[in-house]
Amino acid sequence: MNVIRTDSYESLSREAASLIIKELQRKKDTLLCAATGNSPEGTYALLSERYKKEPDLFSFLRVIKLDEWGSIPMDNPGTCESFLQKHLIGPLEIDSKSYISFQSDPKDPDKECTRIENELENYGPIDICILGLGMNGHLALNEPGNFLESNIHVAKLSEVTLTHSMVHQMGVLPSYGLTLGMKDILQSSLILLLISGAKKKNITAEFLKENITTELPASFLWLHPNVVCLIDREALPRG
């Protein structure tokens, strides 16, 4: 794993955006797995700026949503869908045919997971997977536990996860999560793990110990051959 300690959130975002643009220049039809939340927001803003100058670079970009809050209407401002439409899909004018997206309130959540799994099998594997580090070490909505799910699945959300800032916007708690599994993530060609903010100091310290455990799902990234982990100054543990 290539761990890069950056001076600021802005420099973290610049480095991440640069790596994504470099991949797009190499492979026009890159399949990008997109996380949501504060950590990748700056990166998406920089991609949006680049799009205004060089729209052709993004003409064949494909996007798959990493995860979604379950039982919440798609147009709720707290959904991953709302976030991605605002910060990535809309600004880059990604066509619906190039976007694989969980429905947030499907009639049958298990069938929805199967649908996305089939889409990924047809159009994958993922070229670049953007990830954040959960406060409890979760990866996407793969929560700590005795075992981790390999495939796309319905996830039981932990109490820690339900304190996420996106949940606060919903006005109601999601009943479950929909998420790519560990196998789906680890089959990505390149993984960008973005860690930012002072609240992440403790979990970042645990992650950097390199102890691989299902109680810290993100620790499995140490097994992947091509991970770039970008950490801003505020998230760096002391010492």
The catalytically annotated residue of 23, 76, 112, 138 is 138
Sign of the Cα torsion 181, 196, 229, 40 reads positive
pLDDT one-digit tens code per residue, 40-72: 999 999 999 999 999 999 999 999 999 999 999
pLDDT one-digit tens code per residue, 176-213: 999 999 999 999 999 999 999 999 999 999 999 999 99
User: Which numeric CATH code is attached to 2-133+150-233?
Assistant: 3.40.50.1360
- Per the annotation, the verdict on 138 as an active-site residue is yes
- Per the annotation, the verdict on 136 as an active-site residue is yes
The catalytically annotated residue of 76, 136, 164, 184 is 136
The catalytically annotated residue of 41, 67, 184, 206 is 67
Q: Quick check: helix, strand or coil at residue 144?
A: coil
Domains of the chain, by residue range, sit at 2-133+150-233
- Per the annotation, the verdict on 67 as an active-site residue is yes
pLDDT one-digit tens code per residue, 84-121: 999 999 999 999 999 999 999 999 999 999 999 999 99
Report yes or no on whether pTM surpasses 0.85.
Answer: yes
The catalytically annotated residue of 23, 41, 127, 143 is 143
